[in-house]
Structure 1
């Protein structure tokens, strides 16, 4: 969940759509500039923004000065090949020359620009030999990866240096710079929250920790999953205080401390959900899955009346389903992370409880989607490509949440068979055409069910058929509807012949006896 995003996050897009027009003066001018930019006239839009910047500067309006500067930087991406480099230079200059708190925002913007520049030029940057940090390289276009990481880290850290003052600044003051999420203002109530979570997006990425010291910080402490009131006072010991994971833990402690003290319940729960997710993703503790589930359950129980508790309970269901897996899970040696049977019945009960308690919350809506996945019907079949005439054959049916199936055989003539062979990939159209044909045979079959919402398979007999080509259609509903129904089909032949090919010759054999068939 990312409630707010600085406008500059979108400067790499060819067209920028600002979420809101200034609610202050010059509203028409802002709207005109935005319209011109969207129509592909960046120079004209930039001139209007420059005029708006001058007006804001005259009245000492720091927020609208910054909005105009960000707009002009965005416009430059449509008309200059060096816009990225120029934007970084501008952000660096503004971070050093503007007063607080604008300088903190510019530091955060500059950090992100460096990181985005690195990502865009990653391949070339990784071809460069690492140069000792003591050797100065003024042109960042010549930096190696470690310098980009170091500069971005330093700027994000600097943006939060005056944290006590940032915590006192309501985020509403910076509305003109923000694209706001729906019903999320309460989750990032202060400028500190916004800047802290922007920094967290960077700190939580593993790529910057590629080069690690021998004493690198490893998150193996179970206390990373402790309740927030205990977590904020935990002293995580390490000799590697430069580790971004360690710095992220420390920043989570700061964010949670702020909101435990100021009573911002929603902001605290949201931050704690992020913290626990981070701990789960990065932890190497052997029992991290159970630690994570227990921590989420405590968070959900302690805040049962709060709609955000639905997200905590939902994540437990996702863990139970195996949809929440970390990189460490996939890297585990074979046999250490074997899949255990999923208790879909228990998960269903949890999801229904979430929906009943908080039906309109984000967690409630996601729980409804997950429940639909569990209850979804699925039906597929496999038949041998060629079977013998006059003898029974069989089909393999795999199914989930389908108690019975309707089976229809359609006999095809040579033209229809050829049409199907040339319409590969257009399965919906082929099925629609097959359903228009008269049924050669049709019957119902019960499918063994255990009520566990798992996928099962069974074999079903096909009575003896005469020679020809057949389509077999299987449907969960007896009306064979293509809407809101599990339905599948395949085509097979009934023939007494088989063929063996080599580079120069074809051999036709009796399919049952293997005896060559002459004069074919």
Structure 2
């Protein structure tokens, strides 16, 4: 799925800036001036480097959480854009300023709506009007989300719309958003003629998007799909579809059949909006013979339907994808289909009986070979990284070591290793000076074990040959040679990203301890021989506490208690 390129004016939630009164007056006057003049002019060539440098400063200020500095820079950009009569830069700068009021200033958070609606009425450009419509739709949804708890408490007012926006109900915000979304893609003919590069200041361009979605209609239609998904449907979607004689199965139909469905959303039928916007976009792409773009939107729609009707998706999407793959076989666009199909195949592996390792391994191997072959066939496809990433996930090096936490002195001390895509593995065995230091290291309380351990030996671990996509297992033994506390560290090739499994701690002792709480502040400890189970008298049990801040604290002895002839020691917690 092609990642949707967003407007630069997408609303940020991190801003903590509050505009001064003078800035508000200036912005209002500037908007009025713009509405009456700028949009009726032809854009002058802009100083691309100047604007790019200034917006880079804004981004840096935002990254450093310096909204006042960011706002001052945006004001300077706005003034320059007015002088240059540069509409895209004006739109971008205005939205950056307007979102401060929208997000934080409770008294003036509706100002941006009045100003943008006035600009909308004055603009003479169909494309700029469409951009403003899309922008207003998002702002209405953002305003609703910001205060949705209060708004949702209000009773719907039907068709009545109060003059004061602060009295609006949820249905009014949704209807306004839908109205502007519809208007944003209404002028299809003009928007198809407008290339998205013309609005590079407002639209963040990607190479793939320029190729597959080259027009402003494509861009705004995809935004309409995304934003309409934020408009919540109260009524069950199945009921709405049933009224229109549309089955779930028909939603998964090929594009040329899907576009014939009559969704025609009525007021409050919000659940149909995304489907209708997909229908509009697919219809336009089909008319322009943009087969690759149609394929991408079909795959994106399939992902959307998965969230709505998962069981239907599981039964219908795979044969539909395999049919598409047959159609696109040998074409680089098959990469996109195989990406989706590989998810299905791996899902089937997960559903296979865990004990049927032969079948699970064979199915995983088939996915592995499919990914490898496709990557080799189309190495220069601009989005081949989606399969490379999926292959990387499938073959991600990993290992875990499991075993007992305490071993008796006599006998083998065997540990089990589970691994995937590990060619070599070596362990280092250390003796730790005391069990307290080992416990602190294990709990990551202080992290100062390096000077409190002694290397005993390195242990090479023999690993059986296993395909890089499949799990293997083996065992190895450690024989430290005496009672005490020990730790193992591991190094592997290839290295893993997970450092949690790179250490293993154990003790060698012939005693075992069992504990129970006998009352609110009393605990019983039983010490027995680990092998025979016979109680051990006169064994000392140390009770430690960890006071203060966890990271800067140290385990300190609270009490030392001794077992009686039954191997029992009682600890009374100090209140």
Matched, 1:221 2:253: no
Change (3 A) 1:229 1:436: farther
Matches within 5 A, 1:413-428: 413-414=433-434, 417-424=435-442
> Does the C-alpha gap of structure 1 residues 475 and 443 become closer, same or farther in structure 2, counting only changes over 3 Å?
same
Unmatched segments (≥5 aa) in structure 1 = 17-21, 57-63, 330-334
The answer for the alignment partner of 2:534 in structure 1 is 515
Structure 2 residue 93 is matched with structure 1 residue 53: no
| Structure 1 pair 188–433 and aligned structure 2 pair: CA distance change class (3 A) | farther
1:1-12 correspondence runs (5 A): 1-2=2-3, 4-9=5-10
* Alpha carbons of structure 1 residues 81 and 237: separation in structure 2 relative to 1, 3 Å: closer
Kindly indicate whether residue 45 of structure 2 is the aligned counterpart of residue 24 of structure 1. yes
In the alignment, is the contact (CA less than 8 A) between 2:345 and 2:367 conserved in 1?
yes
Q: Is the 8 A contact 1:498 1:508 kept in 2?
A: yes
Q: Where do residues 44-123 of structure 1 align in structure 2 (5 Å cutoff)? A: 45-46=74-75, 49-50=78-79, 52-53=81-82, 56=85, 64-77=86-99, 81=105, 84-99=109-124, 100-123=126-149
**Number of equivalent positions:** 486
Query: Deviations for 1:156-185, whole angstroms, at most 9, x for unmatched residues?
Result: 012222323322333233233222123421
Residue deviations 1:73-108 (CA, integer Å, cap 9, x gap): 313556873565322332333334433232222111
Q: Which has the larger radius of gyration?
A: 2
Partner deviation per Cα, 1:295-319 (whole Å, 9 max, x = no partner): 3333344334553331221111123
Q: Could you give the per-residue CA deviations for residues 398-447 of structure 1, whole angstroms, max 9, x where no partner exists?
A: 33345775555433332xx44332234659x78988998231x7364455
Aligned-partner Cα distance in 1 for 2:443–2:44: 53
Task: Give the C-alpha shift of residue 198 in structure 1.
Answer: 0.6
Q: Distance in 1 between matches of 2:490 and 2:197?
A: 58
For residues 85 and 420 of structure 1, do their structure 2 counterparts lie closer, same or farther at Cα, with a shift above 3 Å needed? farther
Q: CA deviation at 1:28?
A: 7.4
The question of 1:204 aligning with 2:220 is answered: no
Counterpart-to-counterpart distance in 2, 1:413 and 1:70: 63
Q: CA deviation at 1:208?
A: 0.9
2: CA distance between counterparts of 1:405 and 1:170?
Answer: 55
C-alpha distance in 2 between matches for 1:133 and 1:385: 67
Q: What residue is the counterpart of 1:60 in the other structure?
A: none
CA distance in 2, matches of 1:431, 1:341: 42
Q: Describe the SS at the equivalent of 1:438.
A: strand
The answer to whether the aligner puts 1:274 opposite 2:300 as a matched pair is yes
1:170 corresponding residue in structure 2: 195
What is the rounded CA distance, in whole Å, between the counterparts of 1:168 and 1:89 in structure 2? Answer: 30
Output the CA distance in 2 between the equivalents of 1:239 and 1:33: 43
Contact in 1 for aligned 2:229/2:273 (Cα 8 Å): no
Q: Runs (4+) of structure 1 moved beyond 6 Å?
A: 237-241, 429-436, 480-487
Distance in 2 (CA, whole Å) between partners of 1:124 and 1:11 is 21
Query: Residues of 2 paired with 1:483 and 1:37: CA distance?
Result: 34
Q: Is the 8 Å Cα contact of residues 397 and 495 (structure 2) preserved in structure 1? A: no
SS in 1 for 2:387: helix
Could you say what secondary structure the match of 1:519 adopts? coil
Change (3 A) 1:322 1:141: farther
Aligned to 2:174: 149
SS of structure 2 residue aligned to 1:411:
strand
Superposition TM-score, scaled by structure 2 size? 0.71
C-alpha displacement of 1:200:
0.3
Q: Is the 8 A contact 2:192 2:218 kept in 1?
A: yes
Matches within 5 A, 1:237-316: 243-283=269-309, 286-304=311-329, 306-316=331-341
The gaps in structure 2 that reach 5 residues or longer are 18-42, 62-68, 354-358, 540-575
- Secondary structure at the residue paired with 2:399? strand
* Contact 1:300/1:310, CA 8 A, preserved across alignment: no
What is the distance in 2 between the residues matched to 1:237 and 1:73? 33
Equivalent position of 1:379 in the other structure:
399
Q: Structure 1 pair 11/320, CA: closer, same or farther in 2 (3 Å)?
A: same
The equivalent residue for 2:385 is 365
CA deviation after TM superposition for structure 1 residue 396, in Å: 3.4
- Counterpart CA distance in 2 for 1:37 and 1:402 is 45
Q: 2:416 aligns with which of 379, 384, 396?
A: 396
Cα deviation, residue 150, structure 1 = 2.1
Structure 2: distance between partners of 1:243 and 1:346: 44
Deviates more, 1:252-261 or 1:3-12: 3-12
